[in-house]
Chain A
Amino acid sequence: MMEEKKLICHKCQKELELKKTNFSYLGHIFFTEVPRCPECGLVFISEDLVKGRISEVEMQMEDK
């Protein structure tokens, strides 16, 4: 599982930390926690998140 692995920022060589991050979609903003580099701010969006919660948000928000 992704959660069990350490994620290291390739550029800064720092371990990513879970941080609240904002997403925008069709004029709405949502936040959730995702791994982020404490140095450069790069976030890692996992496939699980994209195929799970994010695609669910997309489905709920999309017009018919």
Chain B
Amino acid sequence: MLLSLVNKDVIDDKHIELSYKSGCMVCGAELIYNKTEINKTCYYCGETRPSNSYCVNNHFVCDKCHEANPIENIKRICISCSETDAAVLMQTIRSHKAFPIHGPEHHSLVPAVILTSLRNSGYAITEEQILVAIRRGQTISGGACAYLGACGAAIGAGIAFSILLDANPYDGKMRQIAQQATASVLSDIASYCAPRCCQRDAWIALKAVSKLLKKDMDLILPVGEIVCQQYRFNKECIHEECPLWVTSMDNYIILYKTWSVCPICMKRLPAERVHRGEQVYLQKTCKEHGSFESIIWRGYSSFNEWVNNSDQPALESPNCPDGCGLCSDHLQKTCCVILNITNKCNLNCHFCFADCDNSNDEPTFEEIQESLSKLIVKGKTLVQLSGGEPTMRNDLPEIIKAAKDLGAKYVQLNSNGIRLSEDKEYVRKLAEAGLSFVFMQFDGTDDAIYKSLRGKPLLKVKQKAIENCAEHNIGVTLVPTLVRGVNTHNIGDILRFAISEAPKVRGVHFQPATFLGRVPEKPTNDERFTLDELIFEIQKQTNGIIKSENLLPSACDHPLCGFHGDFIVDQNKVISLLKRDKTEKSCCCSPVAADKNREFVARRWQRPPVTNTSMDSSSGNLDDMEFFLNRVKTHGFTVTSMAFQDAGNIDFSRLRNCSLHVYDKGKFVPFCSYYLSGWKQ
């Protein structure tokens, strides 16, 4: 992509942006800017206006709707729209980003959508009546359901009846019907023993009004069903108790047909990704061992936007995973190669995908050298030395040197950091041998986490390892294994710690626990920590220092396999370099994706050579091109994640796009295929 140059029109500080991009207000997709205006219909108010811009999904939002506050939006949309279903209209108005999920705006919303839907169905309702309904709704204070003993949605229904009947306090009959309507609606709302939910209460009100209008006035008010989209953001949600909650196992949409395995007998099985409510599952059935479903998306953000049609059609008869070793059906090249150099370990973790048994069975130096000579492409390869714990080997410096001598561009060490903290001389030798960077297990900022996951307190060990690596300019990326209930609450603190340790620490690479190798027991869906949940927690726990929009789907593997974010740390601030363009295709199938990804991660994880100019205490201006270029090299910082697959959630479409390969016996095997292990029944 070319840099936009501001040339002849520039006047010193004035900046003219040549192209402006912003997500669609409705769906977040890319906007299209036409040179000429064409007539477009506003998604919210339904008015048709000439416009230069709309999104790739053909959404157009007029300027007035774009700027309007919630009440103004109710007015504008109700006056001009043609929607006849009151529930659809209500949700269209509520979908505006300025509309709160709870609040007294709903007191105006309910009568407004009732009257508007009736008008749009052909009944004689005037614009003034709708505006009166909105104004009357505004007189009901927030929290009326508790403080006044009558939910504003029920009173809103009464307002609609009052206007339809032209009721006044002297007219006994009309006053009676309106109040009976309010009482009936209120009775339905009050039948739930639950904290307020304005969506639920407003929908119940609409449903009740629809019945009453038919009975009392012979008017037809269509009110459709609503599938709750907001429960994740509603702390008081009553879930299964709510009429808007979708629970039926039969009620799902098949998103994609793929292949997986039976987690018990490991037989290959057809599988489906299915949408159920906001959640997405991988489901499959083994004739012998029954049905299995693993949650893969919890609905914190749009699954379809994240995956963005990245899947190739499933193979008719795949050979995965038995035939793995990069066959002709594999879609991605090698980005990073893992070489296991030992089975020994100085920990005995509850979770260990490698399930290392501490046996003395490890390859000789010569055997490792032989493997390196076969796996390395000169000037290109990023080899990860792994295990077991690779620092259990005293000849690790020689192995690193051998890899570099054979032409490996980057040598990464995957380590728990124990020896790095204890043996400075060893670290010096690793640096001298040409070690590029370290991926260090780092599960949290609290020793209780280490005791739970690793069996002993290790925080000080990790901190010392970071210091020792820094002395030799070795960049360290922190790698937390996230286990729900153990350290998923600590995500924000891990990031804050890592940022405070920049540039010694180059980033954080989150790995939600995968049920491969040694795991405490067969996982339940509640235990799984999905990518969208991780992204949500990152933004929440960092108070927005790192935003979800700055974390992009993996471009090198399948989007469901991970994400990456690229930042600069400047005076403890974190500035994002990436912005999500939800419509941009992942380049999974590009032959250069693996190469690009390798260079992307390496240029951030490797520290630049030490120069005389210390950039550690920043006083410069990041807008200064010179300063930016220096700073991004010294203080670049990544937030990345890799979600490995296990026998429960393995999806061959993801497997075919894997770029992280284990080298073993002459074969490059996708990581999740290499470590795949069955569950005990």
The interface of chain A, by Cβ under 8 A from chain B, is: 19-32, 36, 40-43, 45, 53-54, 56-58, 60-64
- In the bound complex, do residue A53 and residue B552 qualify as a contact, i.e. CB atoms below 8 Å apart? no
Q: Chain A residues with Cβ under 8 A from B593's Cβ?
A: 64
- A20-B13 CB under 8 A given contacts A30-B625, A61-B577, A63-B555: yes
In the bound complex, how far is the Cα of B274 from the Cα of A54, in angstroms? Answer: 46
Q: Knowing that A60-B577, A60-B603 are A-B contacts, what are 15 other residue pairs whose CB atoms are under 8 Å apart, sorted by A's residue number?
A: A20-B12, A21-B12, A22-B15, A23-B6, A26-B1, A26-B577, A28-B577, A29-B15, A30-B623, A32-B626, A43-B8, A53-B625, A57-B625, A60-B632, A60-B633
- Chain B minimum-CB-distance residue to A58: B3
* Complexed CA–CA distance, A27 and B632 (Å): 16
Pair A24/B15 contact, Cβ less than 8 Å: yes
* B575 nearest in chain A by CB position: A28
A43 to B9, CA, bound (A): 9
Q: Which residues of B from 545 to 561 have beta carbons under 8 Å from A?
A: 552, 555-556
Given A31-B624, A61-B577, A63-B566, are A25 and B3 neighbors across the interface (CB < 8 Å)?
A: yes
Q: Are B625 and A27 in contact (CB under 8 A)?
A: no
Q: Which chain A residues border B633 with CB–CB below 8 Å? A: 60
Note all chain A residues with C-beta closer than 8 A to B175.
none
State how many angstroms separate the Cβ of B303 from the closest Cβ of chain A. 21
> Could you tell me the distance between the alpha carbons of A42 and B578 in the complex, rounded to whole angstroms?
31
A62 to B599, CA, bound (A): 11
| B424 part of interface (Cβ distance < 8 Å) | no
B626 touches A53 (CB 8 A): yes
Q: A23 to B555, Cβ gap below 8 A?
A: no
A contact residues around B6 at 8 Å (CB)? 21-24, 43
User: Do A36 and B10 have beta carbons less than 8 Å apart?
Assistant: yes
CB of B17 closer than 8 Å to a CB of A: yes
1/0 per residue, CB under 8 A from A, across B563-596: the answer is: 0101000000000011100000000000001001
Roughly how many angstroms separate A20 CA and B14 CA in the complex, as a whole number? 10
B123 close to chain A: CB less than 8 A: no
**B564–A64 touching, CB < 8 Å:** yes
Mask: chain B, 5-25; 1 = CB below 8 Å from A; 0 = not: 111111111110110010000
A62 touches B1 (CB 8 A): yes
Given contacts A30-B624, A64-B597, contact A24 B17 (CB under 8 A): yes
Which interface residue of B9, B596, B625, B636 has the most chain A CB atoms within 10 A? B625
Query: Whose C-beta in chain B lies nearest to the C-beta of A30?
Result: B625
- Which B residues lie within 8 Å of A45 (CB)? 5, 7
Question: What chain A residues lie within 8 Å of B623 (beta carbons)?
Answer: 29-31
Cβ of B497 within 8 Å of any chain A Cβ, yes or no, is: no
Q: Is the CB of A42 within 8 A of B624?
A: no
Nearest-CB residue, chain A, relative to B631: A60
- Kindly provide the distance from the CB of B417 to the nearest chain A CB, expressed in whole angstroms: 27
B4 on the A face (CB < 8 A):
yes
Do B555 and A64 have beta carbons less than 8 Å apart? yes
Number of interface residues of B (CB under 8 A): 42
Quote the shortest CB–CB distance from B633 to chain A (angstroms).
8
Least CB distance, B196 to chain A, in whole angstroms = 40
Q: In whole angstroms, how far apart are the Cα atoms of A22 and B3 in the complex?
A: 12
A contact residues around B11 at 8 Å (CB): 41
The yes or no answer to B192 lying at the interface (CB within 8 A) is no
- Show 29 residue pairs from A and B whose CB-CB distance is below 8 angstroms, ordered by the A residue: A20-B13, A22-B10, A22-B14, A23-B3, A24-B4, A28-B577, A31-B623, A31-B625, A32-B625, A32-B626, A36-B10, A41-B9, A42-B7, A43-B6, A45-B5, A45-B7, A53-B626, A54-B3, A57-B3, A57-B629, A60-B577, A60-B628, A60-B629, A62-B1, A63-B555, A64-B556, A64-B593, A64-B597, A64-B601
Q: Does B33 contact A (CB under 8 A)?
A: no
Tell whether, in the assembled complex, residue B577 and residue A64 are in contact, meaning their CB atoms are under 8 Å apart.
no
A56 to B603, CA, bound (A): 12
CB distance from B642 to the nearest CB of A (A): 14
Chain B residue numbers with a CB within 8 Å of A60 are: 577, 603, 628-629, 632-633, 636
Instruction: Give B1 Cβ to nearest chain A Cβ, in Å.
Output: 7
Chain B residues near A29 (CB-CB < 8 A): 15, 623
Using A24-B6, A60-B632, A63-B566 as known contacts, say yes or no to A19 and B12 having CB atoms under 8 A apart: yes
Q: Which residue of B lies closest to A28 (CB)?
A: B577
Contacts of B624 in A (CB 8 A): 30-32
List the B side residues contacting A56 at CB < 8 Å. 629
Interchain residue pairs A-B with the least CB separation, the first 7: A64-B600, A30-B625, A32-B625, A22-B15, A42-B8, A25-B3, A64-B597
A53 to B3, CA, bound (A): 11
CA distance A53 to B555 in the complex (A): 26
Q: Do the beta carbons of B8 and A63 come within 8 Å of each other?
A: no
A61 to B637, CA, bound (A): 13
Of A22, A24, A41, the contact of B8 (CB 8 Å cutoff): A41
Give complex CA distance A63, B596 in Å.
9
User: Please, which residue of chain A has its CB at the minimum distance from the CB of B581?
Assistant: A63
Question: Are A63 and B7 closer than 8 Å at their CB atoms?
Answer: no
Looking at B1, B3, B18, which has the most chain A CB atoms within 10 Å of its CB?
Answer: B3
* Nearest CB in chain A: distance from B632 CB, A: 5
Chain A residues, CB < 8 A from B2? 58
Residues in B with CB closer than 8 Å to A27 are 21, 579
Question: What distance in Å separates the Cβ of A22 from its nearest Cβ neighbour in chain B?
Answer: 4
| A25 touching B625 in the complex, CB below 8 Å, given contacts A43-B10, A64-B555 | no
Return the chain A residue nearest B1 by Cβ.
Answer: A62
Across the interface, which residues of B come within 8 angstroms of A41, CB to CB? Answer: 8-11
Q: A36-B10, A41-B9 are in contact. Are A23 and B4 (CB under 8 A)?
A: yes
- Whether B5 contacts A58 by the Cβ 8 Å rule is no
Cβ distance B591 to chain A, nearest Cβ, rounded Å: 14
Tell me the bound Cα distance from A61 to B601 in angstroms. Answer: 13
Most buried by B among A20, A32, A41, A64: A64
Q: Bound state CA distance, A39 and B630, in angstroms?
A: 33
Give the distance in Å from the alpha carbon of A20 to the alpha carbon of B625 in the complex.
11
- State the Cβ distance, B411 to closest chain A Cβ, in Å: 20
Tell me, rounded to whole Å, the shortest Cβ–Cβ distance linking A56 to chain B. Answer: 6
> Shortest CB–CB separation between residue A11 and chain B, in angstroms?
10
Q: Given contacts A24-B4, A57-B3, is CB(A64)–CB(B596) below 8 Å? A: yes
Taking CB as reference atom, which chain A residue is nearest B554? A64
| Residues 1-59 of B at the A interface (beta carbon under 8 Å) | 1-15, 17-18, 21
Give CA–CA (A20, B21) in the complex, Å. 25
Q: Do the beta carbons of B7 and A43 come within 8 Å of each other?
A: yes
Q: Give A60 Cβ to nearest chain B Cβ, in Å.
A: 5
Could you say which residues of chain A place their CB within 8 Å of the CB of B600? 63-64
**Do B10 and A21 touch across chains, with their CB atoms under 8 A apart?**
yes
B557 vs chain A, min Cβ distance (A): 11
